[in-house]
Structure 1
Amino acid sequence: MRRLLVESPTSLGARARLRRWDLFRANFPDVTEMSVLDLGGTVESWQRAPVTPRRVTVLNLFEPGESRDDSVVPVAGDACAARSALESAGSDTSFDLVFSNSLLEHVGGHARRVDLAREIDALAPRHWVQTPYRYFPVEPHWLFPGMQFAPTKARVAIARHWPLVHTRPKTYEGARSSVLWTELVGVTEMQAYFPSSTILRERLAGLPKSLIAVR
């Protein structure tokens, strides 16, 4: 069922991602000439992307993947301390655009989101920062209605047993960690983190599904 909704090339999720790329290109039509920093992404995602910047540096706390060419550069490090991580890796610390999809809700609370926004602001004059909208009826990571509003114990049970979970944790501790590291935000928070940005709403069935800070 999850494959039909999210993973198949013809799924709702795949079609939504293509529409998001179209929106990205509409906002940054000169992206093919840009040096881009992707915070929280993977090399593989750029190898499959319908967009080809001049150069992409992919910074991920976990393994960002291996690159087949020099135009995509993987760097392991903390996005909330991106400048320090890039300097330690001998990488550039100045870019045309910072790009981030579905990272903001996973960095670990308000203070860390403030740190992330500060890094994004410092690293490039332009940015695209997408995150799922807290008040969309279906929690996007587990595809469970209203899960984001349930008590932690209930969310952990959903993470362990709900059949649409992408990768089901093998232990209670793993499920609890996934739940506690996922904290969706609303429009007010996004405007506070990115006061100089335009906040776009990505919609599904007329309802805001995700928020995108664009500058």
Structure 2
Amino acid sequence: MGVAQKVRRTLVEDPRSLGAGFRSRRWALVQELFPDLSSMDVVDLGGTVEAWERAPVRPARVTVLNLTEPGISRSDDIVPVLGDACDAGAALAAATGRTRFDLVFSNSVLEHLGGHANRARFAETVHALAPLHWVQTPYRYFPIEPHWLFPGMQFLPITARARVAERWPLSHSRSPDRERATSSALWTELISVTELRHYFPGSEVVHERFLGLTKSIIAVRR
């Protein structure tokens, strides 16, 4: 393992890392905000089976919808579905015959949907699927871009962002060439509190903080 990989593991991937601590506190917050989670029927838009298998909290049933790799479930209470989160109703109806749930859950997906129009479609889907929701996304104005761990990357021109995606050693997975680096950068758009409130009017906006700075924002209806 190279130096960069060791640094990234120390920061976000090791069980004792800062990232692991953030994830643990996030799950505690989910349980605090939704104390009846263990009895709920949940749909996770953009998640994975593996994430729920590792989670310290578990709904009565969770349907995991992912565009490419929802995963393989070894449990009857975790149901994987292949489908587009912006048009989840059709995929869920075809795969499970169900389009209503107690809670929509989504973690770090809103920033990868490909622009305002798709984020608006996603929000409409969230409102249609359940009366309650948790939609988390990294905050645009936190100084470190969380996917590449590069300071201020979200404010750079696309050419510079693509160069970072291709070359920056702390990336989760570096893009093998400029074309795919550009695509990866274009598909990652961090948003502000104003935008989140626009997509989820009437929802509470919860701030996750690090050293007093907002690290991510969550639209919550409970």
TM-score (ref. length: structure 2): 0.96
Paired residue type of 1:17: R
Separation in structure 2 between the aligned mates of residue 63 and residue 76 of structure 1, nearest angstrom? 7
Instruction: Quote how far apart the aligned CAs of 1:92 are.
Output: 1.6
How far the C-alpha of 1:174 sits from its partner, in A, is: 1.2
Structure 2 residue identity aligned to 1:94: R
Corresponding residue for 1:13? 19
Q: What corresponds to 2:176 in structure 1?
A: 170
Q: Aligned letter for 1:168?
A: R
1:58-111 deviation line (CA, Å, top 9, x unaligned): 000011000001100000000000101111223421100000000000001001
1 CA distance for matches of 2:97 and 2:19? 33
Q: Does 1:39 align with 2:45?
A: yes
The 5 A counterparts of 1:97-136 are 97-136=103-142
The equivalent residue for 1:193 is 199
Distance in 2 between residues matched to 1:22 and 1:174, nearest whole Å? 36
| Displaced runs of 4 or more, over 3 A | none
Instruction: Give aligned-pair identity as a percent.
Output: 63
Measure, in 1, the Cα distance between the counterparts of 2:97 and 2:75. 16
Which runs of no fewer than 5 residues in structure 1 stay unpaired?
A: none
Q: Distance in 2 between matches of 1:3 and 1:159?
A: 18
TM-score, normalised with respect to structure 1: 0.99
Gaps of 5+ in 2: 1-6
Q: Within 1, Cα distance between the matches of 2:35 and 2:148?
A: 33
Matched residues, number: 215
Structure 2 matches for 1:76-115, cutoff 5 A?
Answer: 76-115=82-121
RMSD: 0.6
How far the C-alpha of 1:196 sits from its partner, in A, is: 1.8
Say which SS state the counterpart of residue 67 (structure 1) adopts.
Answer: coil
